Amino acid sequence: MTLRPDDLEALVAAALAEDLGAGDVTTDATVSSDARGRARIVQKQPGVLFGLDAAAAAFRQAGAGDLDRVIAEGTWSDAVPRDVALVAGPARALLAAERVALNLLGHLSGVATLTARYVEAARAEGGRAVILDTRKTTPLLRTLEKAAVRAGGGRNHRMGLDDAILIKENHIALAGGVAAAVARAREARPDLPVEIECRDATELAAALAAGADRLLLDNMDPDGLRAAVAARDEAGSAAALEASGGVTLDTVAAISATGVDFISVGALTHSAPALDLSMLLEG
């Protein structure tokens, strides 16, 4: 799923309105209305750049003109500092767009960069698990953040509550058990894959018996995950196994090495530090 151009424009417009309020009083007081400038967007920290569409929309809407992209998005770069984009136009417009453009670009690049680190770490001990995001995203920025995850080499899990079934402990309790929950889900939406959360070996066995398409192994240690892989294989099940809960860069390699198929990491979107970028303005 990608953000439609009209939706991106609306999101950036709201961000600019939030930042500008009644106007940039500092710039209006110190910069002539006819002054022009040329701005360089500089990446100062190694990582994956992502979010130039959002930054471009900020400059364009502020009246600064089109963004000239110096590099392509989505690849890791250690060669910093480096110019990643240029934009020329009225100086007041450049300054008006600066913070919104850098906030979006830095945040999305941070998500892409953290994702790339997890993807690399997951292969460190011979594991082949795919790194997934979650729904722990910033409200109204989900589509952009999940696009950033893809740019970093990860894969999107659910975009929302409407595109896959994930049965968790509260659903199980209200449905009357694992088997009942899976059966009801199959009957209601036979077109959607069914994933079910498992917290221990007992729930794992019940989920395998119920024929779920994917099992979410919640907060299991590596020994528990290896046992789950063995149980799935011994049962002759084709269910995919997804490890989740408290995954860090220090633990993801060991988790991946257990043989699970997927590892979901909420931190990709809720805890990614922004990539360090700045705007340098020349008159």
The residues pairing with 71 across neighbouring beta strands, listed in sequence order, are none
Asked if residue 136 lies in contact with residue 157, where contact means CB atoms within 8 angstroms, the answer is: no
**What is the rounded distance in angstroms from the CA atom of residue 172 to the CA atom of residue 165?**
12
Look up 195 and say whether it is catalytic: no
**Residue where the block lists tokens 């953290």:** 114
120 a catalytic residue: no
Q: Write down the catalytic residue from 38, 40, 168, 199.
A: 168
Of 36, 38, 69, 99, which one is the catalytic site residue? 99
Is 9 a residue of the active site? no
Judge whether 197 counts as a catalytic residue: yes
Considering 136, 158, 186, 199, which one is annotated as catalytic? 136
How is the chain split among helix, strand and coil, in percent rounded to 5? 45, 20, 35
Of 24, 53, 218, 261, which residue is the catalytic one? 218
For residue 243, what is the enclosing H or E element? strand 240-244
Cα–Cα distance for residue pair 183/175, rounded to 1 Å: 10
Q: What is the 3-state secondary structure (H, E, C) of 73-138?
A: CCCEECCCCEEEEEEEEEHHHHHHHHHHHHHHHHHHHHHHHHHHHHHHHCCCCCCCCEEECCCCCC
Active-site residue, from 24, 133, 145, 197: 197
Residue 71's identity, in one-letter code, is I
Residue 151's closest CA among 49, 248, 68? 49
Q: Tell me whether residue 136 is one of the annotated catalytic residues.
A: yes
- Tracing tokens 């024929």 back to the chain, one arrives at 211
Which amino acids are annotated catalytic?
99, 136, 168, 197, 218
